Amino acid sequence: MRFEKVVMPAPDRFPKTFDRCNLFELPLERECAHCGEGDVFARRIAAPCNFAGSCNFIDYAEVPPGSSIGRHRHGPDEEEFYLVLDGQGEMWRDGDVFPVCAGDLIRNSPGGAHGLRNVGSKTIRLFVFELSVAP
pLDDT in tens, 29-53: 999 988 899 999 999 998 888 887 8
- What is the Cα–Cα distance from 135 to 50, expressed in whole angstroms? 22
Is the per-residue pLDDT at 3 higher than 50?
A: no
Q: Which tens digits make up the pLDDT trace of 102-118? A: 999 999 999 999 999 99
Position 17 scores a pLDDT of 61
Q: Which domains can be identified in the chain, with CATH numbers?
A: 60-135 (2.60.120.10)
User: From edge to edge, which strands make up the β-sheet containing 105-108?
Assistant: 29-31, 40-46, 55-63, 124-132, 78-86, 105-108
User: From edge to edge, which strands make up the β-sheet containing 88-93?
Assistant: 68-73, 113-118, 88-93, 96-101
